[in-house]
Amino acid sequence: MFQQHQYIEYLLSTPFNYTCTNLADHVADVSHDQVNRFLRQRVLPPRQLREVVAPLLAEASGGFLLVDDSVQDKAYSRFIELVKHQYSGNVGGLVRGIGLVNLVYTSGRAGDFLPVDYRIYAPQDDGKTKNDHFREMFQAVVATEQVPARTLLFDTWYASADNLKVIHRADWTFFTTLKSNRLVSVTKETGWQHLDAVPEPAGGWASGQWVRLQQVPFAVKLFKLVAATGDIDRVITNQPDPDLTAEVVAQTQTTRWQIEEFHRSFKQLTGAERCQCRRARAQRNHFACCYLAWVALRQKARQLGQTMYQLRHHLFADYLTRELQNPRIPALLPASA
């Protein structure tokens, strides 16, 4: 019987072709139908990822949880069941693809992060929004108490009043950006105004400004961060520390971008976008194996003191060396060369 570990090891070993046919062509006594049945009939839940990562998180102390979504590009797929038009931040518009909502733990150190949980965004199947998926994953983290973090970092998409209240009630801290047209109140006298209309506080933005958000029953501190390019981020937090500074807030924003590093490596190193199976269950199982493949690659790279990219590319170094020394397809040149 074809086993899950065989599929994961195939994802880690194949250089470019991630099809069931290619796998069957390179494994003795395994047929295309066996691989296809494995993907179509097994049920591999996100719980598998949580179980694999939990012992690794036990070694960590302190850190952050990051949440964001990404789209697995399926621009030329017309018959895959989970594919739909959805917004992609990388493209800046609608694309055809499969959406994933990811929860990622980071210690805060560069490159030190692990996926904790994920959900497939398929409202046509389960009626759930991305925010529904986020709250479900976050509440699971709170219930199990297996993640050594008490701070969540996310962008404006997940900064709804419902999300902020759920996080605050769980006694967690959040840092998130807001859109400039979000309504806030500095004082009762000023009333509600758009975020971009809030005047600079008397002491400047270095220490922030306490404000109220509509439908949020607690105060948050607002910071205005201006990048060297002139881009402006308006960040709020429920962190009660009176000595919190804009510099610390800016550091949390830098940390939040680690989830984009995860998205990039997940796509480039596991073949997440390359499965051609049409059935939704097959795609779900493919993604489940891709997450486990990413963790296996990350752990092996740490053991060897390499980056994940170095380890993945070194798998094919011996092949290239042999071919260059004794090429099976020699070059043809004119006699005058």
**pLDDT band of 59, cuts 50, 70, 90:** confident
Query: pTM of the predicted model, to two decimals?
Result: 0.94
For residues 51-58, average pLDDT? 93
Report pLDDT digits (tens) over 128-187: 999 999 999 999 999 999 999 999 999 999 999 999 999 999 999 999 999 999 999 998
The pLDDT > 90 percentage for the chain reads 85
Classify the C-alpha dihedral 141-146-150-153 as positive or negative: negative
- Per-residue pLDDT, averaged over 101-129, amounts to 96
Give 181-226 pLDDT, tens digit per residue: 999 999 888 899 999 899 999 889 999 999 999 999 999 999 999 9
Give dist(CA 315, CA 65) in Å, integer: 32
CA atoms of 324 and 329, how far apart (whole Å): 10
Give the total residue count for the chain.
Answer: 337
Average pLDDT over residues 27-55: 95
Contact (CB, 8 A) for 295 and 115: yes
pLDDT at 336 exceeding the cut of 90 = no
Band the pLDDT of 78: cuts 50, 70, 90: confident
Going by C-beta distance under 8 Å and a sequence separation of 6 or more, which residues neighbour residue 138? 65, 67, 103, 152, 166, 167, 170
Instruction: Give me the chain's average pLDDT, please.
Output: 94
Among residues 200, 164, 194, the alpha carbon closest in space to that of 180 is found at 194
Read off the pLDDT of residues 288-321 as tens digits, 9 standing for 90 and up.
999 999 999 999 999 999 999 999 999 999 889 9
